[in-house]
Structure 1
């Protein structure tokens, strides 16, 4: 059997929603159809892509690799379609989470204010979420990019949150502090993450548990009990998963949210996006 883009869209939807049921809702199809499409893709490639549980689904190593490449493929396909129809499209990349609780308002307000330009949110990989590879026109990042190639603007700040297993000793607590991490195993994304053990004073520093390369791998490692994680609060808004709890770290330094674009390519659409994002974070 040959595979099609709809198979890739289904796999990416499963990865982003965490279950076949939620993927079906996002795609507007039945759960049975999602299951059949996934099974057909796995049979076509001869690999297992998703581990199916009673309430959730997690990616295998082959599945994570396929999702990373599949997102790039879908972004290119969407751009080709827009180009063929003569539509103007602004592709906004993000690595872990878009703009958290502001994401829905961003999409809705943009569509109302700029109907002539379609805003496409594209989940990419790496520090710049596909911007360096030309897969998007701008990106939401939570690190400062190299100024030689890119320009950026601060559009807001977010609190840091801890992510940990639901059975962890922190589950009954309402407040987490930086000192509570001393000696605890920390999951680190050295490419696109916002937190490393160096964030803490040496006496309070957590231990290094494992390196992850995506939010999906981060969530998998937390649910497996490999370690605990720290991320911007947008992750907690956009990546709820059974078995993972989030708590705000009350005394952690905030995370800067920046809009990034290629130097010299600050178009009218990117300028409008910058203004809208700044307004949303100011609310």
Structure 2
């Protein structure tokens, strides 16, 4: 094999061969379809052989491509095993501002650690993006619409349904549900640092008029419990928050809350890539 062939060439080819689709393989590898096609074409040029038949509606391997796939997969397995040995004792810092999505988080961490031998260090911080910018984290779990800061990249994983939360003394506690369009009539308690719902969640001219600002999850929760207003959060809070003075109310018509991973563009690229792969596989199953 030519000395100019790189692991990225092999990973691109194996993904296309497994998915039988450039578009699906591109989604799995998180690169554009044109970039993936160029990478596979580069590999074919380096080898001097055609590996993929692009003439049909579905991607098919040539005879040479099928034989090369077997060897390429063996190479990648050997590399991954070597990385797992080298990764033992290495840590990857995963930051979050409050409750991690479950069971996604637990399954992803377990899958990553078993595959690499590395250890995920879970770090709760009020502002994961700021911690990422400071280099205190490798990857951050972020909810809500995310604009990746310079030097970082964002990967959308899935969306979470929203639920309303109020004080046990609130009139809303005795209601069967709350509609998203009516939520703006209530005072809204907002976590301005890492909250997923705020006045920005409604179009201009339709936003709640009364806003109570807090700067972290604990302040937000206690303000809701004190009946300063209502809160709106991802549904995971209903299942995992235990507070005697708050009540959760079903919310209808609400847009879902996006969950993304934001990571450094440089740094521990191999470990970060392996974690992202585990995260995507877990999110799609």
Give TM-score scaled by structure 2 length.
0.61
Greater alpha carbon shift after TM alignment, 273-282 vs 219-228: 273-282
Residues 158-209 of structure 1, C-alpha deviation per residue, up to 9 Å, x if partnerless? 1122121133333344432112213211011222222222323567532333
Is 1:89 matched up with 2:85? Answer: no
- Give the unaligned 5+ runs of structure 2: 1-87
CA distance in 2, matches of 1:166, 1:257: 29
CA distance in 2, matches of 1:174, 1:108: 38
CA distance in 2, matches of 1:223, 1:126: 23
SS of 2:120's equivalent in the other structure is strand
SS of 2:104's equivalent in the other structure is helix
CA distance in 1, matches of 2:165, 2:253: 16
SS of 1:106's equivalent in the other structure is helix
Residues 159 and 232 of structure 1 are in contact (CA less than 8 Å); yes or no, is this contact kept in structure 2? Answer: yes
Is 1:167 matched up with 2:169? Answer: yes
Taking the TM superposition and a 5 Å limit, the aligned residue runs for 1:235-274 are 235-265=237-267, 267-274=269-276
- Specify the structure having the higher radius of gyration (Cα): 2
CA distance in 1, matches of 2:249, 2:276: 29
CA distance in 2, matches of 1:249, 1:101: 22
Residues 164 and 245 of structure 1 are in contact (CA less than 8 Å); yes or no, is this contact kept in structure 2? Answer: yes
CA distance in 2, matches of 1:100, 1:275: 17
Counterpart of 1:138 in structure 2 is 139
CA distance in 1, matches of 2:130, 2:101: 13
Residues 213-241 of structure 1, C-alpha deviation per residue, up to 9 Å, x if partnerless? 11000111011111111122333344332
CA distance in 2, matches of 1:196, 1:221: 15
Taking the TM superposition and a 5 Å limit, the aligned residue runs for 1:174-253 are 174-201=176-203, 205-253=207-255
* Structure 2 CA distance for partners of 1:208 and 1:275, relative to 1, 3 Å: farther
Is 1:278 matched up with 2:280? Answer: yes
SS of 1:90's equivalent in the other structure is strand
CA distance in 1, matches of 2:242, 2:282: 22
Let me know the Cα RMSD of the aligned residues.
2.4
Residues 157 and 281 of structure 1 are in contact (CA less than 8 Å); yes or no, is this contact kept in structure 2? Answer: no
SS of 2:210's equivalent in the other structure is strand
SS of 1:110's equivalent in the other structure is helix
CA distance in 2, matches of 1:234, 1:87: 32
Aligned length: 197
- Give the unaligned 5+ runs of structure 1: 1-85
Greater alpha carbon shift after TM alignment, 184-193 vs 262-271: 262-271
* Shift >4 Å, 4+ stretches: 201-204
Residues 155 and 257 of structure 1 are in contact (CA less than 8 Å); yes or no, is this contact kept in structure 2? Answer: yes
Residues 232 and 255 of structure 1 are in contact (CA less than 8 Å); yes or no, is this contact kept in structure 2? Answer: yes
CA distance in 1, matches of 2:136, 2:93: 8
* Structure 2 CA distance for partners of 1:129 and 1:170, relative to 1, 3 Å: farther
Residues 182 and 203 of structure 1 are in contact (CA less than 8 Å); yes or no, is this contact kept in structure 2? Answer: no
Residues 178 and 251 of structure 1 are in contact (CA less than 8 Å); yes or no, is this contact kept in structure 2? Answer: yes
